[in-house]
Structure 1
Amino acid sequence: MTRYLPAFRAITTREALRFLHQRERFLAALVRPLVWLLVFAAGFRAALGLSITPPYQTYITYETYIVPGLCGMILLFNGMQSSLSLVYDREMGSMRLLLTAPLPRWFLLFSKLCAATFIGVLQCYTFLAVAWAFDITLPPLGYLTALPALILAGLMLGALGLALSSFIKQLENFAGVMNFVIFPMFFLSSALYPLWKMAESSELLHDICAANPFTHAVELIRFALYVDIAPWPLLWTVLATLVFMALAIWGYDPARGLVRRKG
C-alpha cells in the first residue's frame, strides 16, 4: 500500500490539475447538455408524448425526462475526452513513462479511470445545479442516491474510452472513432426518448437500444435520481464495466504489442 497510494494520488492529482487548466473543457461539458435541455427540448416537447412509467409516479415534463440522459451524455463525452488525452500522452511519450512504473498495469489504468470518473461526476452535479436553477427539480434525496449510479456509469463509459484508446495509435484517428461511438450510443438509447416510443416506430431499433450499454447506464441514473434501484440496468452496467476494463488491460498489455511486432 505504501507504493499504491502515492501512485494513485499522483495520477488523480495530475488529471485534476489538467482539468482545472482546461476551462474550455468544463464549459463545453455544460454547454452540450444545456443546449439539449433549453433549446431542443422545446421542440421535442410537442412531438414526443410521455406516459407514466417507472420510476415516475405521475406525468412529467420532457425536460425532466431527459435530465438523466444528459447526465449520461456528460459522462460519455468526459470518458472519451479523457481517453483522447491518453492517446496524446502516448504520442508525447509521457504515457510510456507511466506504464513502465513498477506497478501492475491494471492499477495504473484504474487510477486514470477513477480520476476521469471523479471529474465526470463533478460535471454532472454542476449540470444538475444549473437544471435546478431553471426550475427542473428532482427529489431532494435523489441528488444523494444518484452518486453511486453516476460513479458506476462514469466507470463504465471511462473504461470504454480506455479500451478504444488502447487500439488507436494516432491522435487524428481518435476523433473519427469518437463520432462512430458517441453519437450512435447516445441517440440509440433511452436518453432522449423512452424505449416504448422507439418500439412504436421500429422493433429492430428498440432491440438495439435495449442492448446498448449506455441505455442501461442512463436508466440506472434515472432510477437512482428518484431514490429507486433498477436491478437489470445495475447488473448490465457492472458487466459492461468489467468487459470494457478487461479489454483495456488486454489492449495495453506490452506482450500483445510484442507478439504483433513479431508477427
Structure 2
Amino acid sequence: MTAQTQEAQAAQDRDAATQRPRTAWGTSLLAIVEREALRFLGQRGRFFAALVRPLVWLLVFAAGFRAALGLSIIPPYQTYITYEVYIVPGLCGMILLFNGMQSSLSLVYDREMGSMRLLLTSPQPRWWLLFSKLVAGTCVSILQAYAFLAISAAFGIVMPWLGYILVLPALFVGGLMLGALGLALSSFVRQLENFAGVMNFVIFPMFFLSSALYPLWKMEESSQLLRDICAVNPFTHAVELIRFALYAQFNGWALLWTLVATVAFGVLALWGYDPARGTTRAGG
C-alpha cells in the first residue's frame, strides 16, 4: 500500500468516525419525534381537546369582551381591530403552553414506568435527548396551532397570507421555550398526581398575567404592578413574537427574551435531570 493510499484510507476513516455520531444523533432525534407522533395519533382526543379551550375563548368569551375592551391602534396592527383579532395570537400561545405541559406530563409518566431511565442511559448526550423531546413536543404543538388558525380563518379571522408562513419559526421558538419550562417542572415532580397541581400553579398565572388576552396598556390602566409583571412574563414575549410574525413583522426584543427564557429553562431542566442528583433514579 502506497503512502497516498494510506493517507486516503486514513481520511476515510476519520470521515466515517465523525459521520457515525452525527448519524446516531439524527437517528435518536427522529426516533423520539416518531414516538411522540405515534403517541399523539393514538390519542386523537388530545388533539380536539387542545382546540376546545382556544375556540371557547374565541367564540364565546370574545363576544362578551368585545364591547368592554375596545382596542386602539397598537403595533403590529395598522388600524382598529376587534377583540377576536387581538386574541388569536394569544390563543396560539395557549395551545403551545398547554401542549408543552401535556408533553411534560408524559415525561413524568415515562419516569414512573421506567422508560425515562432507558432514554437517559442511551449513548447520546443527555442534553440532546431532552432537546429531541422538546422538538417532538413542539412539532405537535405547531400542528395544533395551525389547525386553530385554519378554524379561525373559517370564522372570518384572516391574517395576511405571508404571516401564516412567517409565524412558523415564531411558533417553533415559543414552543421550545414553553416545552423547556414544562421539562424543567417535570424534573422536580416525582409523582404523576402532583404534576396536575404544579401545572395549574404555573399555567394560569402565566397565561392570565400576559398580553395574550389584554394589551399591556390596558393592564396598566388597572395596575402598574400588574403591567410590570406582564412585561417580564416570558409568555408575553412568546405571544408578541407570534403576534408580530402573523403580520409579517419582526419583534427582535420578543425574540431575544424568548430565547433567553428558553436557555434558562433548558439549563434548569438539564440540572433537574442530572442523574448525579438522584432525581431521575428516584422517579424511575
Normalised by the shorter chain, which TM-score bucket? over 0.9
| CA deviation after TM superposition for structure 1 residue 103, in Å | 1.1
| CA deviation after TM superposition for structure 1 residue 2, in Å | 2.2
Counterpart of 2:270? 249
Show the 5 A alignment for 1:27-176. 27-176=48-197
Q: Which runs of 5+ in 2 are unaligned?
A: 1-21
Q: TM-score, normalised by structure 2?
A: 0.90
Moved over 4 A (4+): none
Report the residue type matching 2:149 in the other structure: L
Aligned partners of 1:73 and 1:230: how far apart in 2? 19
Aligned partners of 1:8 and 1:222: how far apart in 2? 29
Counterpart of 2:254? 233
| CA deviation after TM superposition for structure 1 residue 203, in Å | 0.3
Counterpart of 2:42? 21
| CA deviation after TM superposition for structure 1 residue 101, in Å | 0.7
Aligned partners of 2:27 and 2:165: how far apart in 1? 29
Question: Secondary structure at 1:229's aligned position in 2?
Answer: coil
Equivalent pairs counted in the alignment come to 260
Aligned partners of 2:118 and 2:102: how far apart in 1? 21
2:191 maps to 1:191: no
| CA deviation after TM superposition for structure 1 residue 46, in Å | 1.0
Q: Which runs of 5+ in 1 are unaligned?
A: none
Aligned partners of 1:136 and 1:167: how far apart in 2? 40
Select the residue among 168, 178, 183 that pairs with 2:199.
178
Query: Between Structure 1 and Structure 2, whose CA radius of gyration is higher?
Result: 2
Aligned partners of 1:10 and 1:148: how far apart in 2? 22
Q: TM-score, normalised by structure 1?
A: 0.97
Counterpart of 2:33? 12
